[in-house]
Amino acid sequence: MKNFAGKICFITGGASGLGLGQAKVFAKAGMKVAIGDIRADALHKAVSEIIDYAGCTAADILAIPFDLTDRKQFAKAADTIESVFGGPPHLFIQTAGVNSFGPAEASTFDDFDWVVGVCFDGVVNGMVTFVPRILRAYGGTPGNPREEFHIVNVASVGGLESGPDTAPYSAAKAAVINLSFSYADNMPAYGGHASVLCPWNINSNIGSCELYRPENLRNTGYNVNEKTVAMLRTVHATGQDPIDLAEVMKKGIEEDRVLIMPFHDEKDSLDWLENENNKLHLYMLPEKERLEKTKYASSDPTRIFEFYELKDGVEPFGLARADNDYIAANRKKGG
């Protein structure tokens, strides 16, 4: 996709973080931008920020409060975009996501249902809702669409590597990557393209997402409290700037790349992928040899936050609840 001006964009999770950065970048490129988010109160502020950054008008931005795990609400969002902007999005970006940290073996059904429900099932809901509408409106023949269109799902580098302390998240993001590859293989037949963006740490509000976990899914096996949320905020504050990452993604879209990594230099992307591929080889080795080649043993809970200073009022994330009787002592709070 090379031309953005005058076209329609829809971004899930657009009220903050990377989604908001994407909205700013593509609004500045001349697109009419719809942002969807479950946090209705955050959408109003986001619209003002987009207008200020892009220099566009209120008529160019549409805020849609909705829950992406609800298929009826997703369909209603699609109807609203078509009603207000005159058609489905030419650029559809699924950015919304949640995460929580704790040992894989401490995960509960609620942990999986919440994280996988948003990060993978929500993406499926978006693809099944929007792709048919996009193809009917803009699809054509190979290399010759009626209008340019591009679909981007946001996964994570966590979907390309193991997640001993982010099992639901890493599993969901791995599924998003594979799903995106499947659509990417098929979209050129209609003249369009699909991509998957795999960010690393982003300066965003994802560290606070536990505050928005549904009441019916709060039976977590992880140690989650105000202090661990404070620690996560510290971690994410060091992450990549959302607008910078959105610009990297925009370039990837312009070049019709399927896999978009968060680096400006292509060599950095290739080096990172080669390193991850080498890690996969370790799983084929006998355990003793594998552990000798692994920098951190899987039983070491400090490896995911050792680079961050523990300040007053915060505590390490990534541990199990203290009352979890089957988790090893060094893998849980108070152990």
Structure tokens at 178: 């594979």
Element (H, E) at 9: strand 8-12
Site of tokens 């609800």: 70
| Contact present, 133 and 88 (Cβ < 8 Å) | yes
> What is d(CA 57, CA 64) in angstroms, rounded to the nearest whole number?
17
* Pair 279, 161: CB distance under 8 Å: yes
Does the annotation count 296 as an active-site position?
Answer: no
d(CA 22, CA 28) in angstroms, rounded, equals 10
Structure tokens at 41: 């109160």
Q: How far apart are the first and last CA of the chain?
A: 52
**H or E segment at 287?**
helix 287-293
Cα separation, 260 vs 22, whole angstroms: 14
Which position among 138, 169, 183, 222 bears the catalytic label? 169
Helical H segments across 192-265, by residue range: 226-236, 242-254
Which residues belong to the active site? Answer: 169
